[in-house]
Chains A and B, each alone.
Chain A
Amino acid sequence: MVDQAALENDQPLLVATSISKSFGRIAACRDVSFALYPGEVLAIVGESGSGKSTLLQLLSGQLAASAGHVSYRMRDGVARDLASLGEAERRFLYRTDWGFVHQDPAQGLRMAVSAGANVGERLMAVGWNHYGRIRETASDWLTRVEIDTARIDDAPRTYSGGMRQRLQIARNLVTEPRLVFMDEPTGGLDVSVQARLLDLLRSLVAELQLAVIIVTHDLAVARLLSHRVMVMKGGRVIETGLTDQVLDDPREPYTQLLVSSILPP
C-alpha cells in the first residue's frame, strides 16, 4: 500500500527558482534557488547586509523579485507561482497557512488591544465567530507559550520583551500554518530569555511539524533550530547543507570565518 502522507511529504512546499532582487544598482539578492519540504527548518545565516532579510521578504511575497520566481504548494496539493495568486488565495496564505514572526514584536502585534484579541483576531479572520470558543482557544495558546492566562485581557504594551515575542508566536501559530517565516526572532532579547524562547520554538516546531524559514545572524540559533542552513554573502548563497555539516565542517572561507568567530561558551 502506498503511504499517502509519505508521498505528500515528498513534494516540496516552497520552491525558489533563480530569484534576484536589485535596488537600483545594488544587487541585494542574486540567483537564489532551493526547495523547502514540509516539516523542514531552513536557517538563512550571514552578517548584516548579506541579503538575508531581503530574501525572506521575496520568499514571503512581501517584495516582488526582479527575476526568477517562487512557487508554493497550496493545500489542494497544487504548486502555484506566488506572483500570479489571486487576492483570495493571497489572503488565505497571510491569514492562515503562513505565519510571520518579526524581530520586533510591535510589528507583528497590535500593541493596544488585549493579548486575547491579538490571538483571537487571526481566528476571526478565518471565520470563527463563537466568542467563547475563540477565547478558550486563545487562552490555550497563551498557556502553550507560557503566558499566565490571568494576563489575557492585558495589552502587549504592558508585557516584557520576552512575553511579547511569545505572544507573537501564539498569534501566528493559532491558525495551524504549514509554513512560518521568522526574522531574527530572538534578536534584542536577554540571553536567558533567548534560551527559553528557543527551547519553546524548538518544541512547537517539532510538535506541529512546521516548515520554517528563519533568518538569523546567530549560528547557535541555527544549530539549535534548523535542519539545513544557507550561508549568504553579498546577496549570494555561498554554501548550503545540513546544519551540523556546515557548522562542523565549513568549506568556504567566509563560512569558516563565521564559525571561528563564535566565542566558546
Chain B
Amino acid sequence: MTAMIDVANAKKTFTMHLQGGIELPVVSGVTFQVNPGECVVLSGPSGAGKSSILKMIFGNYRCDSGRIGIRHRGALIDLASAEPRQVLNVRRSTIGYVSQFLRAVPRVATIDVVAEPLIVNGMSRTEAQARAGELLHRLNIPERLWQLPPATFSGGEQQRVNIARGFISDLPILLLDEPTASLDAANRAVVVELVSEKKRQGTAMVAIVHDDEIRHLIADRIVDVTSFAAAA
C-alpha cells in the first residue's frame, strides 16, 4: 500500500532570539507513515511535541531538517522544502486540519464558515451550504444559529463549527488536534462516527486525543512521541 503521509527524520528546534538566543529543541528523528483509511494517534505528555508534529505536517511550522512526504494528486511532494504556492495547493486539495480553536473571521455566517472549503474547490454555494447544514445538524448546532458568525458562540459550539468545517471536504488527509476536547458525550460520539466514516472513505488521519476512551475508539495505531524527544 502507498502511504499518504511519509515523515522521515524530521527535526524541529525553536531559537528564541528575544531570550538571548536560547534553543528549544522540540522533536528530532520523527519518522512514521500513515496509510489511506488509517487513523494514527500521537501520544505523549503535554509538551512532548504532538501539536508541533501536526503543524509540521500541515506546513505551518518549518522543519530544520528531514522530510514531510505528502501524496498530493498521485505524486509525492516534500512539504519541508515546498514553495509556499505548493503548500497552499496541497492544503486546498489534499490536507485538512482541525485546529484546537476556531479562528473565526468577523461577520462571516456560521453556515458559510463551514461551506467555504467546498466553495473554494468549485462547488456551488447552494450545494455547499446544503452539505454544511447536514453536518451542523449532526453536530447539534441549532439552525437558528447558522446565520450568525460563530465568534459569539460558546467554546463547545465553536469547536463543533470547527469540526464541521474540517470534516466537510473529502480531502485524502485529515489532521485532528484534540477534536473532542470541549465536547459533551453525545457530540464526542458524533465525532467518533465521523472519523469512522472518513476511514471507510480511505482518508488518512493523524490525531491528538487525550481522552483514553476516544483514543481507543478511533486509533488504528499509536505513535509514541516521547521517542522523538529531542536531545536537549
Q: Which residues of A in the span 27-83 have a Cβ within 8 Å of any Cβ on B?
A: 37, 40
Please give, as numbers and ranges, the residues of chain B lying within 8 Å of A248 by CB-CB distance: 55, 60-61
A interface majority secondary structure:
helix
Query: Shortest CB–CB separation between residue A9 and chain B, in angstroms?
Result: 10
- Per the bound structure, the CA–CA distance linking A231 and B87 in Å amounts to 19
- Per the bound structure, the CA–CA distance linking A260 and B16 in Å amounts to 11
Check A199/B106 contact, CB under 8 A, given A253-B18, A257-B18. Answer: yes
B88 CB–A CB distance under 8 Å: yes
A216-251 interface code vs B (CB 8 A; 1 in, 0 out): 000000001001100000000000011011001101
A11 CB–B CB distance under 8 Å: no
By the criterion of a CB under 8 Å from any partner CB, how many residues of chain B are at the interface?
19
A227 near B88 with CB under 8 A, answer yes
A249-262 interface code vs B (CB 8 A; 1 in, 0 out): 10111001100100
B131 CB–A CB distance under 8 Å: no
A245 near B17 with CB under 8 A, answer no
Contact size class for A? Answer: 20 to 34
Would you list the 6 A-B pairs with minimal beta carbon distance, nearest first?
A253-B17, A242-B84, A195-B106, A249-B61, A199-B107, A228-B84
Q: What are 7 of the A-B contact pairs (CB < 8 Å)? A: A40-B85, A241-B62, A244-B60, A245-B59, A245-B61, A249-B62, A256-B16
Given contacts A202-B105, A242-B87, A245-B59, 20 further A-B contacts (CB under 8 A): A195-B106, A199-B106, A206-B120, A227-B84, A228-B84, A241-B62, A242-B60, A245-B60, A245-B84, A245-B87, A248-B55, A249-B14, A249-B55, A249-B61, A249-B62, A251-B15, A252-B17, A253-B17, A257-B18, A260-B18
Give residues in A with beta carbon < 8 Å to B. Answer: 37, 40, 195-196, 198-199, 202, 206, 224, 227-228, 241-242, 244-245, 248-249, 251-253, 256-257, 260
